[in-house]
């Protein structure tokens, strides 16, 4: 998962970049239109966080060209313009979301997460995906049920959410702090053993330790993959 942040105010760019890195998100940054298109030509991104005014240029004028380069890209506009008309204009010209400055970083993170989920739920054929699958492990998102082969697995709400997160990004390592944040929210403290307990229960339900597909390394984190 990769994000692109186009923001020409150094303090704002640094502030957002730090928040994204703390979430474990990969992010590139740029501060002008020319470099923005250079990034889009070299890398594929899931979400573009785009300051409406870049080096004195209205970024909305470039939305059709941006869409032409990466049509599945989700675009969130940042702007000091807060009138309804400005928001409607941005959305009607191709933006997926619009956030006015000043903003709380928690709201920005939440909005980006929503856009990421929209991408995750769309398959390569452009149709909505209702299943997540890795090897013989499958989750039916519409029915909210999990299967290992033909066997249905009964999961708690947190176990289900945790497994969905791992299934969406096989091979990606999630630290305990990231799992606490993304599955349980910020009200749980790192000293809590809720991750270890829930993960142990989930592994047990998925089968033996050798066949659970959930791997881990002490002090590093957990991920979905094959045993080496």
127-150 mean pLDDT: 81
170-194 mean pLDDT: 79
153-164 mean pLDDT: 91
- Residue 208 has a pLDDT of 61
User: Could you tell me which residue, 125 or 17, shows the higher pLDDT?
Assistant: 17
- Residue 125 has a pLDDT of 47
Q: How many Å is the Cα radius of gyration of the chain?
A: 20
Closest CA to 147 of 157, 137, 156: 137
DSSP H or E stretch at residue 29: strand 26-30
In this prediction the pTM is: 0.56
Closest CA to 74 of 40, 24, 118: 118
Closest CA to 20 of 181, 217, 220: 181
Residue 55 has pLDDT above 70, yes or no: yes
Closest CA to 213 of 194, 198, 195, 228: 228
pLDDT digits (tens, 9 = 90+) for 86-100: 999 999 888 999 999
- Which H, E and C letters describe 131-162, residue by residue? EEEECCEEEECCCCEEEECCEEECCCHHHHHH
Integer Cα distance of 153 and 138 in angstroms:
10
- Structure-token pair, residue 100: 């006015």
**Among residues of the chain, what percentage have pLDDT more than 70?**
89
Integer Cα distance of 95 and 217 in angstroms:
40
141-157 mean pLDDT: 88
The domains of the chain, with CATH numbers, are 2-120 (3.40.50.2300), 131-224 (1.10.10.10)
Residue 129 has pLDDT above 60, yes or no: no
**Among residues of the chain, what percentage have pLDDT more than 90?**
46
């Amino acid at each position: 998962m990769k994000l692109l942040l186009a923001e020409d105010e150094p303090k704002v760019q640094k502030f957002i970049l730090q928040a994204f890195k703390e979430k474990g998100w990969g992010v590139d940054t740029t501060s002008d239109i020319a470099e923005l298109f250079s990034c889009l030509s070299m890398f594929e991104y899931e979400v573009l966080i785009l300051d409406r005014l870049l080096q004195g240029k209205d970024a909305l004028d470039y939305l059709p060209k941006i869409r032409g380069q990466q049509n599945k890209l989700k675009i969130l506009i940042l702007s000091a313009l807060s009138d309804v008309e400005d928001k409607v204009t941005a959305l009607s010209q191709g933006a997926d979301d619009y956030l006015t400055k000043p903003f709380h970083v928690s709201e920005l993170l939440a909005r980006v997460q929503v856009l990421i989920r929209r991408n995750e739920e769309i398959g390569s054929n452009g149709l909505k995906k209702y299943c997540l699958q890795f090897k013989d492990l499958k989750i039916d998102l519409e029915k909210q049920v999990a299967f290992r082969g033909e066997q249905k697995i009964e999961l708690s709400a947190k176990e289900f959410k945790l497994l969905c997160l791992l299934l969406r990004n096989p091979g990606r390592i999630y630290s305990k702090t990231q799992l606490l944040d993304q599955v349980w929210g910020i009200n749980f403290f790192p000293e809590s053993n809720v991750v270890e307990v829930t993960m142990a229960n989930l592994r047990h339900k998925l089968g033996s330790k050798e066949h659970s597909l959930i791997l881990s390394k002490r002090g590093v984190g957990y991920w979905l993959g094959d045993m080496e």
